[in-house]
A and B are shown apart, each in its own frame.
Chain A
Amino acid sequence: MKPNTQQLTELTTQVRRDILRMVHAVSSGHPGGSLGCAEFLVTLYQKLMDRKEGFNMDGTDEDLFFLSNGHISPVFYSVLSRSGYFPVSELATFRKINTRLQGHPCTHDKLPGVRMASGSLGQGLSVAVGAAQAKKLNKDNKLVYVLMGDGELQEGQNWEAIMYASAKKVDNVIATVDLNGKQIDGPTEDVLNLGSMKAKFEAFDWEVIEIAKGNDIDSIVAGYEQAKAKTGKGKPVCVLLHTEMGNGVDFMMGTHAWHGKAPSDAQLEEALKQNPETSFGDY
Chain B
Amino acid sequence: MKKYTNTGSKDTRSGFGAGLTELGQKNENVVALCADLIGSLKMDDFKKNHPERFFQVGIAEANMIGLAAGMTIGGKIPFTGTFANFSTGRVYDQIRQSVAYSEKNVKICASHAGLTLGEDGATHQILEDIGLMKMLPNMTVINTCDYNQTKAATLAIADYDGPVYLRFGRPVVPNFMPADEKFVIGKAILLNEGTDVTIVATGHLVWEALIAAEELEAKGISAEVINIHTIKPLDEEAILKSVAKTGCIVTAEEHNFLGGLGESVSRVLALNNPLPQEFVAVQDTFGESGTPEQLMEKYGLNAAAIVEKAQVVIKRKK
Give residues in A with beta carbon < 8 Å to B: 57-60, 64, 66, 106-108, 115-120, 123-135, 137-138, 140, 156-157, 160-161, 163-164, 167-168
Contact = CB atoms under 8 A, between A and B. Distances in A.
Nearest to A167: B58
Contacts of B117: none
A117 B94 contact: no
Nearest to A128: B70
B71 interface: yes
Nearest to A134: B74
Contacts of B308: none
A134 B70 contact: yes
**Which of B72, B73, B76, B93 gathers most chain A CB within 10 Å?**
B73
A134 B106 CA distance: 13
Interface string B8-31: 000000000000000000000001
Contacts, number: 116
Contacts of B53: 137
Contacts of A156: 62
B55 A58 contact: no
Given A123-B94, A138-B75, A160-B63, A130 B101 contact: no
**Which of B53, B78, B104 gathers most chain A CB within 10 Å?**
B104
Given A130-B69, A137-B31, A163-B60, A119 B97 contact: yes
B98 to A, nearest CB: 5
Contacts of B101: 106-108, 117
Interface residues on B, range: 20 to 34
Closest 4 CB pairs of A and B: A126-B66, A130-B70, A134-B74, A130-B67
A25 to B, nearest CB: 25
B44 interface: no
A134 B70 CA distance: 8
13 contacts: A64-B73, A66-B70, A123-B62, A123-B98, A126-B62, A127-B70, A130-B66, A130-B69, A133-B71, A140-B74, A157-B66, A160-B62, A161-B67
B181 interface: no
Contacts of A132: 70
Contacts of A133: 55, 67, 70-71
A127 B62 contact: no
Nearest to B104: A116
